[in-house]
Amino acid sequence: KSLPRRQRINRMLSSESLHPPVYSRSNSQASVDSTSMEDFWCEVENIKESTEDRQDDQTLLEVKPPDGSEEEDGEALLSTLTRTQAAAVQKRYNTYTQTMRKKNKHTVRDVRDIFGVSDNSPTFEAIPVSPMTANGIQLAVHKPANSYLECEFEKDNQSVTEELSFEVSFSESITVIPKHREWHSNQRFKKEESALPNFMIRKSRFGLTEVGDLSLDDLKKIRYLSLIELTAFYDALGIELKRNRTERVKGRENGLFGVPLTVLLESDQKKIPGIKVPLIFQKLLFKLEETGLETEGILRVPGSASRVKILRQEIEAKFEDNTFDWDQVRNNDAAGLLKMFIRELPSPLFTVEYLPAFITLVEKIPNIKLQLQALHLLIMLLPDASRDAAKVLLQFLKKVVSNERKNKMTLWNVSMIVAPNLFVYKGKRANQEEMLAAATAARIVRLLIKYQDILWTVPNFMISQVRKMNEAAMNNTRRQLMFDKGVRRLLRRKTMERERPEKTESDIPEGVIRVHAPLHSKVSMAIQLNNQTKVKDIVARFYCENSQEPSENMKIQIQSLHEIGGNIGQHCLDPDAYMLDVYHANSQAEWVIKPKIS
What are the tens digits of pLDDT across the range 228-284? 999 999 999 999 888 887 767 666 778 899 999 999 999 999 999 989 999 999 999
- What pLDDT was estimated at residue 261? 94
Instruction: Report the alpha-carbon distance of residue 559 to residue 594 in Å, rounded.
Output: 5
Q: Which residues pair with 514 in a beta bridge?
A: 526
Residue 76 pLDDT exceeds 90: no
- What pLDDT was estimated at residue 224? 93
Distances from the Cα of 144 to the Cα of 571, 576, 578, angstroms: 22, 10, 10
Q: What is the pLDDT of residues 299-346, one digit of tens each?
A: 998 888 899 999 999 999 999 999 999 999 999 999 999 999 999 998
pLDDT-derived band at 54 (thresholds 50, 70, 90) equals low
Q: Which residues pair with 565 in a beta bridge?
A: 568
Q: What is the pLDDT of residues 273-300, one digit of tens each?
A: 989 999 999 999 999 999 999 999 999 9
Which H helix or E strand runs over 221?
A: helix 216-236
Distances from the Cα of 286 to the Cα of 305, 383, 399, angstroms: 21, 24, 12
- What pLDDT was estimated at residue 58? 47
- What pLDDT was estimated at residue 106? 54
pTM of the predicted structure, to 2 decimals: 0.77
* Residues 272, 278, 280, 281, Cα dihedral to 10°: -140
Q: Which of 79-88, 119-128, 448-457 has the lowest mean pLDDT?
A: 119-128
- Calculate what percentage of the chain has a pLDDT beyond 70: 66
CB atoms within 10 A of CB 52: 8
Instruction: Report the alpha-carbon distance of residue 209 to residue 197 in Å, rounded.
Output: 23
Q: Look at 135 and 468; give whichever has higher pLDDT.
A: 468
Which H helix or E strand runs over 512?
A: strand 512-516
Residue 460 pLDDT exceeds 60: yes
SS percent in the chain: helix, strand, coil, step 5: 50, 10, 40
- The number of residues in the chain equals 598
- What pLDDT was estimated at residue 155? 41
pLDDT-derived band at 476 (thresholds 50, 70, 90) equals confident
Helix, strand, or coil (residue 516): strand
| Helices 368-381 and 355-364, axial angle in degrees (round to 10) | 170
Query: Residue 88 in contact with residue 78, Cβ under 8 Å?
Result: no
Q: What is the pLDDT of residues 519-563, one digit of tens each?
A: 877 788 899 999 999 999 999 887 777 665 555 444 445 789 999
Which H helix or E strand runs over 528?
A: strand 524-528
| Helices 27-34 and 411-423, axial angle in degrees (round to 10) | 20
Average pLDDT over residues 407-433: 77
Query: Residue 76 in contact with residue 476, Cβ under 8 Å?
Result: yes
Residue 550 phi, psi (nearest 5): -80, 175
Amino acid at 300: R
Q: Which of 216-220, 287-291, 389-393, 426-430 has the lowest mean pLDDT?
A: 426-430
- What pLDDT was estimated at residue 46? 72
Average pLDDT over residues 481-495: 67
Instruction: Report the alpha-carbon distance of residue 452 to residue 372 in Å, rounded.
Output: 10
Q: Look at 564 and 126; give whichever has higher pLDDT.
A: 564
